[in-house]
Amino acid sequence: MPKRFRLTRRFTVAMTEDGFRRLKAFSKDAGLDEGEALSFLFENFNSVINEENLIHRLRLFNAELDDRKR
């Protein structure tokens, strides 16, 4: 029996403009709202990422983070 889909957690999130644009585009392409799209991505995280790319991108993001906050 499928799990009932309920959005039970609400939280304030801060995103970059680029990240938010990508989320909006992904959710539109998938026919989901932003909350549903985030739920899908995190529920299926290991299936939708390439671990090598993730590690590389995360290092780049962290290296640039201080400069991006200014």
pLDDT of residue 70: 77
pLDDT of residue 50: 94
pTM: 0.76
pLDDT (tens place) for every residue of the chain, 70 residues total: 566 777 778 888 899 999 999 999 999 999 999 999 999 999 999 999 999 999 999 999 999 988 888 7
10: closest CA among 43, 38, 49? 38
**Cα separation, 29 vs 21, whole angstroms:** 12
pLDDT of residue 2: 66
